[in-house]
Every structure is written in structure tokens, then in C-alpha cells.
A and B are shown apart, each in its own frame.
Chain A
Amino acid sequence: MKTMIRLEAASFSYDEADSSKTALDDINLEFCEGEFIGIAGHNGSGKSTLAKLLNGLLLPTKGDVTVLGMNTKNENEIKEIRRNVGMVFQNPDNQMIATIVEEDVAFGPENLGKPPYEIRDTVDESLALVGMAEYKDKRPSQLSGGQKQRIAIAGVLAMKPKCIIFDESTAMLDPQGRKELLDTMHRLNAEEGVTIIHITHYMEELITASRIIALNEGKVAFDKTPRDAFSDLSALSPLNLAAPEVVQIADGLKIAGFPIEGTALSCEELVEAIWQLKQSL
């Protein structure tokens, strides 16, 4: 697989005078094209700082971040980097630029200097991709939180990015809005081949990720598949991360003396495992 983003010994400190107070400390990571990567960590673990390093909103104080071979420190390539790596933020209200939905979606391609007829096409296409085509003439204030976040995604998609970072984009949404957003992420990943980097502290949102990277105190605590990550719950608790409900139930059953095979990640898997256990008894 082709490398999308690579971090080499990247460190970041918000305090310019004292670089020993690091928000991120010596991070080495590689994100590949087409992956669905979950980044988890409690408040202050450095996950939002990491997100901002990935498209050059912040530059590493030590080490390098390269996007498709372009270093984020290179000012001439920053526009190309940001076109390829889009970002959806936490608060839907603070990322709407225009007063009309379609004008907001057009903001990115307008900045790239695309001709008007081409912008029109990409805007309609992007809105259709997130299922918001019929809302194009609405005001953002008339939409729900989940819908606003989908408009934000459309705004990013209009730049035709290879990768989208979701920086705690589900945190301010109700369960319905979170589900809508997660479905959209997975669809973009599966059908459009967009690399997704999803930053969250809800572990159940990462069950279907291809990889989970946990951060703690500015360092990578682990980088595993969900199945491996949830097979050892004792590794999660020092990171202040709560395992998904299904995993917790399975773990509780094991402790109570029911030896369930493997690590169940979904309700179906857990039912299957319990069924098999019952048959073997």
C-alpha cells in the first residue's frame, strides 16, 4: 500500500521557550492509502495536536511530517497538502463560512482557483455523496448538527482529497447524528477509497476501524487492530479509555467463569461465541 502520511520522530511543543513540555513526543507513524485509522486518547493526550500536524496547521518543532512525499514545512506545497488532506472539526457551527449551504461547499474549490462551471459540478457531486443534495439552498442554521457535519464533509470532498481527518467530529452530536456521520465515513472509505483518520474518545466508534492508535501523554501507547486492542482490556484502563460495551460484557462473562473463545467485537459475534460455549458444555 502507498504511504499517505508519514511522521518521523515528530515532536511538538506549544511552549516555545521550554521545548521539554511537549504535547507530542517523538512520534513515528505511517498512514497508508485506503486505511480507516482510529486515533484514541483521553483529554490532553495530544490527539488534536497530532491531527493538526497532519495537514500543516501546526508544524512539528522537531522531526518531520510528510504527506504523499511533501514535507509540511515546505510552504510552497502547503496548499497541495491541504487539498489532499482535508479536515472536519469538532464544532459544526465554527466551520461554516458562507450563509448558504452550496456556497459553503464551494469555498474550497474557489480557493483552489477552479473555473466556475467545474466548481458547480463538484459542489453538486459532493453534496450528493453525503446525501445532502436537496439541502443545497438552505441556511446552515436550519440544519441539525449531524447534517452540518455532513455539509462540512462535502466542503472537504469538493477539493477531491485523498484523506480526511475527523478531529472529534462526533463529539458534539446526538446518537442519531453520530450514526449518520460514521456511516458516511465508512461509505467514503469503502466506495471512494478515501483514507479516513477518525479521532475520538468513543471506543465503540473504532470497532470497525482497520487500526487503532492510542495516545497517552503525547506518546503512542499502542498501534493495533481493534481485535488485538480489545483482547487485553488491562492495557486500556491506564489510558483512561473505556472499551466498547460488547467487549466489556464478554470480559465480564469471562471473569464470572464463562470461558468465551476469542474477542467478540459485535453483538452477533458475542451471541455466536456464547452459543458455541453453551454447545461445548
Chain B
Amino acid sequence: MNDITVGQYYPVDSPMHRLDPRTKLKGVFLYVMGLFFVNNLYGYGIAFILLCVCVACSKVPISYVLRSLKPILMVIVFTSIINLVWTQGNVVWQMGFIKITDSGISLAANMAARLVLIITGSSLLTLTTTTVALTDGIEMLLRKVPLLSKVSHEIGMMMSIALSFIPTLTEELDRIVKAQKSRGADFESGNIAARAKAMIPILVPLFVSAIQRASELAMAMESRCYTGGTNRTRMKELKYRPADHLSMTCLVAALAACYFTKALV
């Protein structure tokens, strides 16, 4: 209970881990966007090789990276079947009322490849970036987004406080559940409605304590001179290094290559 980690950070030292979180965030964003423009085998080939290079640079074991696909495996299988069966086109194979068309096959393959690449690509971000670095990176990037620049500090602060309170609140939840059980509360039996109702005596104290904690934390922050984001400095400042510029250039080049494979077909 004490060692709960958010995300799935894999602690090793690698070129990928050392990249600036902003580079990685921007990279994943561009990669995901880029994948939506790819529509042929060559494009997917390049995107796949790019991902393989990134995984190799991250020193994260392949089995670890693939584990992130497990929760959405069903989604991939399900969407593939739907695409396969429901798409109109030239019929390739037919059995009873089930028709499989050529465009169905290509759509299903496209979607599956896209989902697999997107999920593995973005999980590589959380595997190689600590939550602290991630929230810092998001805060810094939001500064440049027009509507959000004024509240970027607040959003970053909220995210990092939320993350730091997860272990405390999990412990608290555990304590409340035990306390209610010891007084005879029953969470396991009954239908869904009864079980949902049994959650109320857990959620109410949890919320009350969370609010009390928040008010105490606000007091502690104020007494440590917190007055919001203006004139605030950071101990660890994010700095782009040559490696960041280099990897960003490589990424853009690879994605451009992906895009121009369209001309090949």
C-alpha cells in the first residue's frame, strides 16, 4: 500500500529517460497525430521502426512495453471484428450472412496497427518519465497554449498535489473500509444497487477527510510563503539539451517520410 506508483515508471538510466519531458510529450503528440495520416504498409513500417528504435533507446524490456497492450487487447480484437464484418466493398469471402470485404480487411488492419502503435508509443512516455517530470513538462508546455497560459501553474500544482496525496488517501480509504467492516458493514453481498448503497458510508468520511486535509495543506502552503505562480522559481529547471533537438529533428523527419509514402502507392 505504501509503495503505490502512478503510471508505470521503469527506473533505469537511458538516453530516453534523460530526454526533457517536454520533448517526450511533444514527440508522443506528434507521433499520435502523424499516425492518423498514415494509410499504407510502408508508412506503418517506418512508424514501427521508429518505435522500435525508441524502445531500444529506453532500455525498458520489451515484455514491459508490451504489457501496456494487455488492457486494450479486447478493444483491438473487438474493433477489428466490427470493421471486418460491417464494411461495404467487394466481397472476398462469404459464409451465410457474414461477408468479409477487401476494404473491411484493410480498414481493420489499419485500425489495429494504429491502436497498437499509439498505445505502445504513449506508454513509452510514462515508462520513461517520472510523474514529477511529467507534471513539470505539462505545466511548461501549457504556458505556451493561449487560453491556458494563465492557469498553467495552477494546473501543474493541482496535478502534482493530487499525485502526492494518492498514497495518503489510499491508506485512509483502507482504514475507513476496515472501520466500517468492524462495525458490521457488508460490501460483498447484494445486487449492484445494494452494493453501491454500501459505498456511501465509505465515500462520505473519505470526502470529509480529503476536504479537511486540503484545508490544512492550504494553511501549510500559505505559511511557506506560497502566493501562486508569479515570481516563483524552480529548483530543477527544465532545459533543452542537444539530444532533445536531435531527437525532435529525427522524429519530424521520420513522420514526414511516413506521410510521403502515400506517393509510393
A110 to chain B: closest CB distance in Å? 6
Interface residue stretch chosen among B69-77, B121-129, B224-232, B244-252? B224-232
Interface code B188-220, partner A: CB below 8 Å = 1, 0 otherwise? 000000000000000000000000010011011
Closest residue of B by beta carbon distance from A90: B216
A158 to chain B: closest CB distance in Å? 9
Closest residue of A by beta carbon distance from B164: A99
| One of A57, A106, A107, A123 near B226 (C-beta < 8 A) | A107
Bound-state CA distance A93–B216 (Å) is 10
Within 8 A of B (CB), among A132-167: 139-142, 155-156, 159
Bound-state CA distance A115–B234 (Å) is 8
Known: A100-B132, A119-B235, A142-B2. A111 touches B217 (CB 8 A): no
Is A111 within 8 A of B226, CB to CB?
yes
A82 lies within 8 A of chain B by Cβ: yes
* Secondary structure call for the A interface: helix
Q: Which of A97, A103, A107 has the most CB of B within 10 A?
A: A97
B63 lies within 8 A of chain A by Cβ: no
| One of B167, B222, B234 near A116 (C-beta < 8 A) | B234
Bound-state CA distance A99–B217 (Å) is 14
A114 lies within 8 A of chain B by Cβ: yes
B168 lies within 8 A of chain A by Cβ: yes
Q: Which residues of A contact B223 (CB under 8 A)?
A: 55, 57, 82, 86-87
Known: A89-B219, A96-B164, A97-B221. A113 touches B2 (CB 8 A): no
Is A111 within 8 A of B225, CB to CB?
yes
Closest residue of A by beta carbon distance from B237: A116
B182 lies within 8 A of chain A by Cβ: no
Q: Which residues of A contact B224 (CB under 8 A)?
A: 82, 86, 97, 107-108, 111, 155-156, 159
A22 lies within 8 A of chain B by Cβ: no
Q: Which of B223, B231, B234, B236 has the most CB of A within 10 A?
A: B223
B94 lies within 8 A of chain A by Cβ: no
Is A141 within 8 A of B132, CB to CB?
no
Bound-state CA distance A210–B236 (Å) is 41
| One of B2, B132, B163, B233 near A114 (C-beta < 8 A) | B233
Q: Which residues of B contact A82 (CB under 8 A)?
A: 222-225
A91 lies within 8 A of chain B by Cβ: yes
Known: A91-B216, A110-B233. A99 touches B160 (CB 8 A): yes
Is A93 within 8 A of B213, CB to CB?
yes
Q: Which residues of B contact A267 (CB under 8 A)?
A: none
Q: Which residues of B contact A115 (CB under 8 A)?
A: 233
Closest residue of B by beta carbon distance from A94: B216
Q: Which residues of A contact B152 (CB under 8 A)?
A: none
B156 to chain A: closest CB distance in Å? 12
Is B132 within 8 A of A94, CB to CB?
no
**Interface residues in chain B, defined as those with a beta carbon under 8 Å from any beta carbon in chain A:** 2-4, 131-132, 160-161, 163-164, 167-168, 213, 216-217, 219-227, 231-237
Q: Which 4 A-B pairs have the closest CB atoms?
A: A95-B220, A106-B235, A94-B216, A141-B167
**Interface residues in chain A, defined as those with a beta carbon under 8 Å from any beta carbon in chain B:** 52, 55, 57, 79, 82-83, 86-87, 89, 91, 93-100, 102-103, 106-116, 119-120, 123, 139-142, 155-156, 159
Q: List 12 A-B contacts (CB under 8 A).
A: A79-B227, A82-B222, A93-B168, A94-B216, A97-B217, A99-B160, A107-B221, A108-B224, A111-B226, A113-B233, A116-B235, A119-B235
Other than A106-B235, A141-B168, give 19 A-B pairs with Cβ distance below 8 A: A87-B220, A89-B216, A91-B216, A94-B220, A96-B164, A98-B164, A99-B131, A100-B132, A107-B226, A108-B224, A109-B235, A110-B233, A111-B227, A111-B232, A114-B233, A123-B235, A141-B2, A142-B2, A142-B3
